[in-house]
Amino acid sequence: MIDVVIAGAGPNGLMLACELALAGIRPLVLERRTEPATELRANGLVGQVVPLLDRRGLYERLAGPGTTPEPSPGYVFGAFPLALHDLPGNPLHTLPVPQRRIEEMLAARAAELDIEILRGHEVTGLVQGGKSVTIEVRDRPPVEAAFLVGADGGHSVVRKLAGIGFPGVTTDDSVSLSGSVSVPAGSVDADGGLAVPGFGVVPPFRHLRTEHGMIAWAPFPDRTPLFSTTEWGRPAEGEASLEELRASASRVLGTEVPLGPPTGPGPHLMRRLSGGNTRIAAKYRDGRVFLLGDAAHVHSAIGGPGLNLGLQDAVNLGWKLAAELRGHAPDGLLDTYEAERRPVARRVAMHTQAQSLLIRPGGDVTALRELFGELLDLLPVRQHIANLLAGSDLVYEMGAATGALVGRWAPDLPGLRELTRSGRPLLLDPTGTLDPGPWAPHIDTATVPGLDSALLLRPDCYVAWQGSTGEGLHEALATWIRV
């Protein structure tokens, strides 16, 4: 019997497979597509997921050898520039790499960990039993597994087969166009802004809202630039085209925008999206079936929170499934997956809906933006929004453990990125004298001089205990690890 079957070989499914393999669990990944996706989707990573990848030794594979994550000096929120350089604690990191490269990197990591990925295998049915779930797969015999995880996107077959509802809201009055383009030589300034005759400069890598819609200009240094528009209340028919994108840009900016066909190597994008959905699964677990990523939640892509949310779902679920399969999970551990990750999804749904309202045209929205712009001049407001976008503003419940860092993402410490690559619980002990007792074989321990207090980190790098003596350490270990 397979330990865990994962439906979906996108970034979230691959990340979960890698986390399970680190813990000695044998996953099988089933993917309905016969080849990895080549279409352009997400354009990068935003939030806490960036240092998370670094703590698994994966950041350099995307950003280059010898690199480490640095907080971003600025970002955007609801088509406002968001200054972050002066925050006393800036949690927001970005990594502008296309989703295709992220999938390639995670697939390579999965191969290193000897994870089996079967492409061209679509889940068509499931039957749950007391100790396993039988998965029906098109064109092959059924597969029996201890657990099944649906990482198969917003239209998740696993979610539908499990009978899990997907409540939420649908909007149908917006049309977004995105296309790979070329622009005239000399029209891009030193900062990457696009000079548009009759309008001015469209700034790079941020949303520009006008009274008629929204524009985004992305002059990627290593690939074809993207130009995007969003309008409301306009019908769209037929195939998306460069001519449609030009006409939309002209309406939004009030002047002709010199957009030409893409040049250079592809893949190139020309896409139209009508409306959108904000939905969260009625539950993340049904018996031996779990959901993560877009299978559990969908929302607007504004601000780029999707992979931050989904990849952290995978890291949260991975170590808990591994503990259950190895017999080290305390009662109720698997239920903490939904208890911890659903509130994060609700926060993402909230702020993407808020941003979607702030970018709409109209005088009433303009008035709201004037007030919101005044609020963004206040440093505590910018700190609050940065925490929200990074996904670092919620504190997990850690039982009886107390301390300023308990329930929070572990701060950056010297050597931490190397110590967390194993994906095991980690006790950081400044004295080298703490005794983990019978839990010693199940955790890593490191003497880290200079810490104000000892820290116990879960495999997902959240602080489960903090103390200057060993008081409460065994109770905290017992909360998360059965021996």
Q: What confidence tens digit (pLDDT) does each residue in 425-457 have?
A: 999 999 889 999 999 999 999 998 888 899 999
Average pLDDT over residues 387-392: 94
Average pLDDT over residues 8-18: 97
Q: pTM higher than 0.85 for the full model?
A: yes
Q: Average pLDDT in the 52-59 region? A: 97
Task: Report the chain's terminal Cα–Cα distance, integer Å.
Answer: 24
What's the pLDDT score for residue 223? Answer: 85
pLDDT in tens, 157-210: 999 999 999 999 998 889 999 999 999 999 999 999 999 999 999 999 999 999
Q: What is the token pair recorded at 364?
A: 């009433």
Radius of gyration of the chain (CA): 23
Per-residue confidence band for 40, with pLDDT thresholds at 50, 70 and 90:
low
**What is the DSSP code string of 259-304?**
-B---SSS---EEEEEEEEEEE-S-SEETTEEE-GGGTEE---TTS
* pLDDT tier at 58, thresholds 50, 70, 90: very high
pLDDT above 90 for 38? no
Q: What is the pLDDT of residue 449?
A: 81
* Predicted local distance difference test score (pLDDT) of residue 234: 84
Which two tokens mark 331?
């009662």
- Mean pLDDT throughout 249-274? 92
Confidence check: pLDDT of 221 > 90: no
Q: Average pLDDT over the chain, rounded to whole?
A: 94
pLDDT at 413 over 90: no
Residue 42 has pLDDT above 80, yes or no: no
Over residues 72-91, the mean pLDDT reads 95
What is residue 357's predicted lDDT score, i.e. its pLDDT? 94
Percent of the chain with pLDDT over 70: 99
What is the token pair recorded at 464?
Answer: 């489960």
* CA–CA gap between residue 481 and residue 439 (Å, rounded): 8
pLDDT of residue 237: 78
Torsion sign, CA atoms 16, 17, 23, 27? positive
Q: Measured between alpha carbons, how far is 403 from 393 in angstroms, rounded to an integer?
A: 16
CA–CA distance from 358 to each of 78, 79, 176, 328 (Å)? Answer: 5, 8, 16, 47
Check: CB of residue 483 under 8 Å from CB of residue 328.
yes
CB 460 within 8 Å of CB 23: no
Q: Which pLDDT does position 236 carry in this prediction?
A: 77
pLDDT at position 267 over 90: no
Distance CA 318, CA 17 (A): 8
Domains of the chain are 2-167+278-390 (3.50.50.60), 172-276 (3.30.70.2450), 408-480 (3.40.30.120)
